[in-house]
């Protein structure tokens, strides 16, 4: 039976808006007819997040979809890199299976860098053979972000095998090359890399665009580059896409790609250029099946009230009404969930750092950025051991291998601002080992052991009181209702702020303190790591 919807149609392919009628049947658009008079609300293709790690929402894919459709999102280009580091092929296939259980277009990639570096412990490894096996699958749309840009530039054999496999199956390759400019950017692009979502400055983004790469403007829960990069849409509209990269559940409840559309509209950029950045451009670049309101397309579309406020009234996926007036109609299943967790509890002695010098190397965390800065500060020594210096905001941090019993790697971080207590998490990019920061060793130990006991989670310890959100799915996701997860996460985030943190998203920021592919200095479970020369380094100068 055919269905009809009328309104002002936003045709992103032809670049025009006109009153019309869409006729669709069995999830497919049969015809689009022009009408002579204005028909009220606006109908446009469903919005697409061009790069996101679903796992960072701490939700199963099906639950992510349930929340996202409320905001007009009907598809994602999803890199399952996080769960792949925990569970390998099993994790990727779990994400595909769970995503297929709901009406939503999850376009998964084959993770290219598992593990991301040899300087940390991960739960799995995907070599060239495994990556090619994934790329053969029709559900896999692309080769996920190639973070090993030094390997690309030096033409490492394993890296080139993966790039060649993507070429063999005619699938695009996502990039990840923060700060790479000039000739290196051109060589990176010439190797087959077609996008980058890690541009921090306009200069870097233009350099990569001129090298032939699409720039994904990112606005996530921690990393935020929208204001810096959005002016590029005026000059390079066909080279721009929108993405969130990492979106925590409390932020996903508030909005998704629709918020980027609204902000771009508020800044006065062309409406068609803006909407194409999150519809036409990703569909064309990745070869997605998402509909663009053309006859023969899937009936994937949203209805918005007007082109100024851009309030999403209804969302349809393959002709099914999946959300209306802020209510989602997606029903999720609670299928069996996997994990990989074998850490042992830490003791007070495990956290001691014997003073071996007066000056220590500290990583400074920055609001809204994945990068950190290297600082050299005087060690705060008590009875021969280096301790947190709450007064100067130099706090002890640790990372522990979650996949086998190990001693923690210890370091120090500035910027978190905790005056008391500790926070800990098993969401720690890229290998998702246990990461924690604290104002004192007792709180640090309590927080770490709480997430170990639950085999995954995020935790706040305040004056001995332990608050925990369990994440038993691969140690990074919850099987619970997404709105409940968001509520619990928001409470924990608020408690972390009460400890003194000035970061908007302290847990998200914490998760990147072990991200060894982002400059300048990070902490892995194997020790302090200098990203600039890609090698482990000592704590003391």
- pLDDT 10s digits, 405-433: 999 999 999 999 999 999 999 999 889 99
- pLDDT 10s digits, 57-94: 999 999 999 999 999 999 999 999 999 999 999 999 99
pLDDT at 429: 87
**Closest residue by Cα to residue 27 from 321, 284, 346:** 321
The secondary structure element, H or E, covering residue 29 is strand 28-34
Q: How confident is the model at residue 116 (pLDDT cuts 50, 70, 90)?
A: confident
Q: How confident is the model at residue 39 (pLDDT cuts 50, 70, 90)?
A: confident
pLDDT at 335: 67
The secondary structure element, H or E, covering residue 340 is none
How many CA atoms within 13 Å lie on the side-chain side of 493? 20
Which phi and psi (to 5°) does residue 311 adopt? -85, 125
Which ranges of 140-270 would DSSP assign to H, the alpha helix? 149-153, 157-168, 182-190, 202-210, 226-229, 232-235, 249-254, 257-266
- pLDDT 10s digits, 320-355: 999 999 999 999 876 678 999 999 999 999 999 999
Q: How confident is the model at residue 175 (pLDDT cuts 50, 70, 90)?
A: very high
The two structure tokens encoding residue 102: 């709901």
- pLDDT 10s digits, 191-244: 999 999 999 899 999 999 999 999 999 997 767 789 999 999 999 999 999 999
Q: Where in the chain are the domains?
A: 56-288, 349-536
pLDDT at 222: 64
Collapse the DSSP code of 177 into the 3-class scheme (helix H, G, I; strand E, B; otherwise coil) and give the result.
Answer: coil
- Three-class HEC string of 69-128: HHHCEEEEEECCHHHHHHHCHHHHHHHHHHHCCCCCEEEEEECCCECCCCCCCCCCCECH
Q: Could you give the C-alpha distances from 312 to 117, 146, 305, 429, 453, in angstroms and in order?
A: 41, 34, 7, 33, 42
Strand order in the sheet with 195-196: 195-196, 214-218, 240-243
User: Cα separation of 329 and 322, whole Å?
Assistant: 5
pLDDT at 40: 84
Collapse the DSSP code of 287 into the 3-class scheme (helix H, G, I; strand E, B; otherwise coil) and give the result.
Answer: coil
pTM tops 0.85, yes or no: yes
User: First vs last Cα of the chain: how many Å apart?
Assistant: 74
**Closest residue by Cα to residue 79 from 108, 59, 49:** 108
Q: How confident is the model at residue 533 (pLDDT cuts 50, 70, 90)?
A: confident
- pLDDT 10s digits, 237-258: 999 999 999 898 999 999 999 9
Q: Which CATH architecture is the domain 56-288 placed in?
A: Alpha-Beta Barrel (3.20)
pLDDT at 508: 85
């Amino acid at each position: 039976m055919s269905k009809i919807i009328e309104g002002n149609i936003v045709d992103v392919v032809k670049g025009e808006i006109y009153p019309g009628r869409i006729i669709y049947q069995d999830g497919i658009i049969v015809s689009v007819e022009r009408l002579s008079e204005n028909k009220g609300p606006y109908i446009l293709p469903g919005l697409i997040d061009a790069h996101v790690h679903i796992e960072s929402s701490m939700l199963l894919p099906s639950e992510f979809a349930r929340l996202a459709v409320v905001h007009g999102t009907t598809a994602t280009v999803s890199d399952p890199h996080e769960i792949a580091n925990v569970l390998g092929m099993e994790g990727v296939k779990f994400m595909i299976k769970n995503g297929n259980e709901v009406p939503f277009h999850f376009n998964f990639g084959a993770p290219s860098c598992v593990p991301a570096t040899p300087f940390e412990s991960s739960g799995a490894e995907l070599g060239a053979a495994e990556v090619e096996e994934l790329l053969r699958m029709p559900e896999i749309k692309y080769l996920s972000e190639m973070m090993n840009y030094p390997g690309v530039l030096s033409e490492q054999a394993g890296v080139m095998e993966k790039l060649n496999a993507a070429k063999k199956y005619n699938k695009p390759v996502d990039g990840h090359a923060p700060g790479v400019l000039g000739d290196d950017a051109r060589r990176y692009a010439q190797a087959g890399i077609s996008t980058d979502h890690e541009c921090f400055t306009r200069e870097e983004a233009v350099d990569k665009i001129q090298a032939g790469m699409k720039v994904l403007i990112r606005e996530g829960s921690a990393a935020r580059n929208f204001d810096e990069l959005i002016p590029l849409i005026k000059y390079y509209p066909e080279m721009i896409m929108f993405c969130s990269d990492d979106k925590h559940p409390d932020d996903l409840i508030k909005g998704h790609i629709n918020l980027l559309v609204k902000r771009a509209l508020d800044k006065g950029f062309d409406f068609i250029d803006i909407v194409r950045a999150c519809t036409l451009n990703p569909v064309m670049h990745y070869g997605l099946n998402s509909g663009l309101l053309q006859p023969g397309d899937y009936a994937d579309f949203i209805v918005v009230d007007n082109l100024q406020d851009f309030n999403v009234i209804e969302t349809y996926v393959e002709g099914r009404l999946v959300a209306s007036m802020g209510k989602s109609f997606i029903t999720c299943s609670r299928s069996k969930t996997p994990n990989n967790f074998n850490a042992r509890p830490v003791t007070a002695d495990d956290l001691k750092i014997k003073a071996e010098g007066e000056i220590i190397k500290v990583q400074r965390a920055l609001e809204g950025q994945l990068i950190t800065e290297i600082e050299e500060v005087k060690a705060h020594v008590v009875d021969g051991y280096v301790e947190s210096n709450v007064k100067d905001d130099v706090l002890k941090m640790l990372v522990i291998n979650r996949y086998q019993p190990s001693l923690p790697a210890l370091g120090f971080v500035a910027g978190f601002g905790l005056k008391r207590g500790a926070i800990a998490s098993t969401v720690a990019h890229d290998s998702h080992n246990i990461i924690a920061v604290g104002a004192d060793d007792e709180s640090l130990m309590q927080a770490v052991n709480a997430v170990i006991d639950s085999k995954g989670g995020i935790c706040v310890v305040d004056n001995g009181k332990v608050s925990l959100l369990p994440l038993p799915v691969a140690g990074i996701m919850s099987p619970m209702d997404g709105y409940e997860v968001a509520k619990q996460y928001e409470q924990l985030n608020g408690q972390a702020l009460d400890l003194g943190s000035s970061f908007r998203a302290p847990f998200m920021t914490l998760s990147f303190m072990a991200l060894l592919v982002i400059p300048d200095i990070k902490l892995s479970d194997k020790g302090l790591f200098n990203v600039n020369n890609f090698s482990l380094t000592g704590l003391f100068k």
